[in-house]
Amino acid sequence: MDHVHAPPVPAPTFTVRNLTIAYSGNPAIKNVSLDLYPRSVTAFIGPSGCGKSTFLRALNRMNDLIPGVTTQGRILLEGEDIYAPGVDVVNLRKRVGMVFQRPNPFPMSIFDNVAYGPRIHGVTDRDRLSAIVERSLTAAALWDEVKDRLHKSALDLSGGQQQRLCIARLLAVDSEVLLMDEPASALDPISTGKIEDLIDELKNRYTILIVTHNMQQAGRVSDRTAFFLSGELIEYGLTAEVFESPRDRRTEDYITGRFG
Amino acid sequence: MRDRRRRNRLADLAGRGLLVLAAAVTVAILLALLLYVLVKGLPLVSWEFLTALPRRMGRLGGIWPTIVGTLYLSAVALGVAAPLGVAAAVYLAEYAPPGRLTRLCHFGSETLAGVPSIIFGLFGFATFVIFLGLGWSVLSGGLTLALMILPTVIRTAEEALKAVPRAYREGSLALGATRWQTVWHVVLPSALPGILTGLLLGLGRAVGETAAVLLTAGSSLTIPLSPLDPARTMSVHLYLLAVEGISLERAYATAAVLVITILLLNLLATRLVRRLTPKGGHA
């Protein structure tokens, strides 16, 4: 194994300070602080119910949609507090896109799914839309499989194709950050491999934050890994270090499969 | 052990038999009813019956004005109830914060759904015919029917909206869509078949309604042109033909036409639902 160089640390995309999130009073995230870096993949790992998804959904304020959720602390996106009063949540979600655990293409054609984002953000020109659709599908490694049936229903695609379509849909709106909530957990190994290759490709241009149950996956795709347990951030660092020489006993136990 | 298994299997068979019987009885009654009306009514239905003006209070001639009246009134009712009801349902399902007021709205619309139509008729008479001075007219009748079917429209539309997977909404919002864009482009198209089914239920009620229409649209046998003209619907016509002993045969013939009209509307709506179901939809 090569020696791991500590990369020069760029300005963080997200700066999270003392974040506490509770569902009707029950804390799911407890006083978490960390920095998340651009053009790299950060994985959030931990057993079910450790709060990693809740943490992810705080970053584009998806938790706002769930009644009874309270968020304390600060989350800065490039220096600006995304929970400050008056923040344009719609614009935030445009910058910070999300791929969900289960593929959720809209019940429309493949083309319309990808064109959905650009359309709602004001692109009407047919040629420009076609160009965006082709570029996004190509970037999501799906173009060759669907180029002959762009106007067929997206729901007829396989699960893996649907998930890549959802990623293409996201790429079409020019987000800066991609949040992925266990994007491969509902997929077969081959589809999972394709998604992982795609993540590897995309990290040159995006800040990718991925929640995963799958330890090997975290090891394969991520540059940094954060380990959560019962809502607390136990350990956070370069993936190689977290996996090879965890500082905390609980991290080691989890990684070696002693629980979770 | 063996005995019990046998008993279970017998119970299962008996249960299934009862269910099949219940379904068969329901369908049989429905068919019998339809057949009875059609067999008694259809022989008198001719092109002339459909297109001629009635003479001698309907004892002779046709029912053309009542067909026009029925369609006219239903169109007004649906034209008012559909946008209003769907908008209210969107508000209740997508925007209203869960709480006292929303619960009150639900309670209100559910109560209204159970109110007998004659009450709506009285209300429409007092409000539209007298107070607003619209007189016995297509407009008064249509508005009354709109109020009557509004709860049905709201409730079915709300159920249809709530059945749209949350994942669609999240997917849209996560792309930076506003709430309204999400509702308009993703949620409403997905809910459209359900919403149309609700509208159809409402339409069925409106077409068949008699008492409320008699009180608000009148029973004139002229062809209504302006919305302020009085009108007689097929249901009212058939009611008056039967009750006033004018012609029972013609009442049956009118009933047959009414039943066929409702059947046609149903077919049309089903077509429409299929056409409008989102391209990718499974429905």
Model pLDDT, residue A1: 45
Residue A71's SS3 state is strand
Model pLDDT, residue B109: 86
Q: How far apart are CA B283 and CA A66, in angstroms?
A: 29
**Where residue B282 falls among pLDDT bands split at 50, 70, 90?**
very low
Which of A89, A92, A91, A112 is CA-nearest to residue A168?
A112
B129 and B232 share one domain: yes
Which of B244, B232, B266 is CA-nearest to residue B68?
B232
Model pLDDT, residue B220: 87
Instruction: Choose among A108, A119, A169: nearest Cβ to B278.
Output: A108
B135 and B222 share one domain: yes
- Domain membership of residue B282 (yes or no) is no
B157 and B38 share one domain: no
Residue A153's SS3 state is strand
Mean pLDDT within B10-31: 93
Cross-chain residue pair A65–B173, CB shorter than 8 Å: yes
A window 153-212, beta carbon within 8 A of B: 153-156, 166, 169-170, 173
Amino acid at B84: L
- Domain membership of residue B283 (yes or no) is no
Cross-chain residue pair A109–B167, CB shorter than 8 Å: no
Q: What is the pLDDT of residues B28-48, one digit of tens each?
A: 998 999 999 999 999 988 898
Cross-chain residue pair B170–A117, CB shorter than 8 Å: no
Cβ neighbours for B123, distance < 8 A, ≥ 6 positions apart: B144, B147
Tell me whether B98 touches chain A (CB under 8 Å): yes
Cβ neighbours for A13, distance < 8 A, ≥ 6 positions apart: A36, A37, A38, A77, A78, A176, A177, A207
- Domain membership of residue A70 (yes or no) is yes
Q: Which residues in chain B have their CB less than 8 angstroms from residue A106's CB? A: 168, 171-172, 186, 278, 280
Which of B139, B152, B134, B150 is CA-nearest to residue B76?
B139
Model pLDDT, residue B1: 62
- Domain membership of residue A7 (yes or no) is no
- Domain membership of residue B260 (yes or no) is yes
- Domain membership of residue A2 (yes or no) is no
B227 and B125 share one domain: yes
Question: Is the torsion defined by CA of A127, A133, A134, A139 positive or negative?
Answer: positive
Model pLDDT, residue B280: 46
Tell me whether A123 touches chain B (CB under 8 Å): no
Cross-chain residue pair B280–A170, CB shorter than 8 Å: no
Q: Which of A64-73, B117-126, B134-143 has the lowest mean pLDDT?
A: A64-73
Which of A45, A61, A44 is CA-nearest to residue A98?
A61
CB distance A7 to A64 below 8 Å: no
Q: How far apart are CA B283 and CA A173, in angstroms?
A: 29
- Domain membership of residue B99 (yes or no) is yes
Tell me whether B180 touches chain A (CB under 8 Å): no
Digitized pLDDT (tens) for each residue of chain A, 260 residues in all: 455 565 567 889 999 999 999 998 899 999 999 999 999 999 999 988 888 999 999 999 999 888 889 999 999 999 999 999 999 999 999 999 999 989 999 999 999 999 999 999 989 999 999 999 999 999 888 999 999 999 999 999 999 899 999 999 999 998 899 999 998 888 888 888 888 998 998 999 999 999 998 888 899 999 999 999 999 999 999 999 999 989 999 999 888 887 65
DSSP letters, A207-246, are: EEEEE-S-HHHHHHH-SEEEEEETTEEEEEEEHHHHHHS-
A233 has which bridge partners? A228
Mean pLDDT within B235-244: 92
B34 and B87 share one domain: no
B window 10-69, beta carbon within 8 A of A: none
Amino acid at B123: F
> Count of domains in chain B?
2
Mean pLDDT within B209-227: 90
CATH classification at residue A76: 3.40.50.300
Mean pLDDT within B96-106: 84
Give the residue numbers spanning the domain of A68.
14-255
Instruction: Choose among B170, B174, B281: nearest Cβ to A107.
Output: B281
Mean pLDDT within B45-70: 87
End-to-end CA distance of chain A: 28
B129 and B10 share one domain: no
Cross-chain residue pair B186–A102, CB shorter than 8 Å: no
Q: What is the pLDDT of residues B155-195, one digit of tens each?
A: 999 999 999 999 999 999 999 999 999 999 999 999 988 89
Which of A54, A49, A50, A79 is CA-nearest to residue A66?
A54
B60 and B197 share one domain: yes
B window 110-129, beta carbon within 8 A of A: none
Which of A14, A36, A32, A22 is CA-nearest to residue A81?
A14
Q: What is the pLDDT of residues B104-121, one digit of tens each?
A: 888 888 888 889 999 999
> Count of domains in chain A?
1
Model pLDDT, residue B281: 43
Query: Please, what is the average pLDDT of chain B?
Result: 89
- Domain membership of residue B281 (yes or no) is no
**Where residue B20 falls among pLDDT bands split at 50, 70, 90?**
very high
Model pLDDT, residue B283: 35
Tell me whether B99 touches chain A (CB under 8 Å): no
Mean pLDDT within B73-92: 94
Give the residue numbers spanning the domain of B31.
2-44
Cross-chain residue pair B170–A169, CB shorter than 8 Å: no
ipTM associated with this complex: 0.86
Model pLDDT, residue A260: 58
Q: How far apart are CA A247 and CA B32, in angstroms?
A: 80
Tell me whether A25 touches chain B (CB under 8 Å): no
B243 and B128 share one domain: yes
Mean pLDDT within B224-229: 90
Q: In chain B, what percentage of residues exceed pLDDT 70?
A: 97
Pairing state between β A41-45 and A207-211: parallel
Place of tokens 């009118």: B254
B17 and B51 share one domain: no
In the predicted structure, residue B139 carries a pLDDT above the cut 90: yes
CATH classification at residue B201: 1.10.3720.10
Q: How many CA atoms lie within 13 A of B125 on its CB side?
A: 13
